[in-house]
Structure 1
């Protein structure tokens, strides 16, 4: 259930990225379509999470449990990793602000940090599959910085934010399905 709960959290974060990043540079109809698709994907992950809860309550478990010693969200995770990520996230945002960079660049930093999060946890959770979205998100963050450097600031939230949200949400939905179907 920890895995499904983590994917549920990921789906919420992906949806938030999409809702916050759709801006006036997109047509209103495309913005509506993106928001509706995000809501549908989030709903599907919620349904899979609820089905997973039902299976777990009836004695079911994953065929292949996560190998991490304390599970996904042990005390060490919260104390060390979340604190380190928060420090890096806010330190980076502070540096960007101190360098007087436009606010749109923050979304590129958030995408980059989300990618680092996934890449760092691939070996910790012994889930090589996390490397794919991690590398994609790092590249999306770098692309956002490149767009900002090319003075295409209005594109940074869409490129870094929407693409980050789509990557996280699609991965959460796909892995939720895989996890749910592997429960016995």
Structure 2
């Protein structure tokens, strides 16, 4: 017997948009930080990233179309009354966190460059992106964001460790490429429906 829309397992509210954002940034991490790889290495990284993001995009868009159709069908006359709107999943708290993240990214990168260590920029980006997921996990009440936050933050810290261990060539790998794949993997995970 097929499941009704009401009983079917669903993704978290806003998961599709969140997966597209996270996946896009994951792919961007790969594009920027694999530039020093060999031609074969970069091709493999890019192909894997593009396939992963393409899969995320297809699944997310299909899910959004299905959810929109279900909501339209379930909308009652009462819901159509003026003034009755659902709170969007990306509210004020989300935008405050994103603003703080953007300021921290820009300020930190400027400080590192002024100190003569622009190569640490990618480690700083991974650290800030990772820590902002702790706040998002709290706002969205999603524990899986805390896992993502920990892994990406550790990738950022790993980049700083590589710098102090006199292995700066590993910074874009640890903080950039690995972070990119982690973001893509978690974007895929976000699209897995959870039982209500």
Asked if these proteins are the same fold (TM beyond 0.5), I'd say yes
Give 1 or 2: higher helix fraction: 1
Task: Report deviation, 1:57.
Answer: 2.7
Partner residue, 1:89: 105
The answer to whether the 8 A contact 1:21-1:158 is kept is yes
Query: How many Å separate the matches in 2 of 1:70 and 1:164?
Result: 31
Task: Report deviation, 1:77.
Answer: 2.7
Of 156, 159, 163, which residue of structure 1 is paired with 2:171?
A: 156
Of 31, 38, 41, which residue of structure 1 is paired with 2:49?
A: 38
SS of corresponding position for 1:157: helix
For structure 2, list consecutive stretches of 5 or more residues without a partner in the other structure: 1-12, 73-85
Equivalenced residue count is 171
* CA-to-aligned-CA distance 1:136-174 (integer Å, 9 cap, x gap): 111111110011112211221111100110000011012
Q: Does 1:109 align with 2:124?
A: yes
1:1-184 matches, cutoff 5 A: 2-24=14-36, 26-59=37-70, 70-78=87-95, 80-101=96-117, 103-176=118-191, 178-179=192-193
Q: Over alpha carbons, which structure has the higher Rg?
A: 2
Query: TM-score, normalization: structure 1?
Result: 0.85
Partner residue, 1:66: none
For structure 1, list consecutive stretches of 5 or more residues without a partner in the other structure: 62-68
Query: TM-score, normalization: structure 2?
Result: 0.80
Divergent runs of 4+, >6 A: none
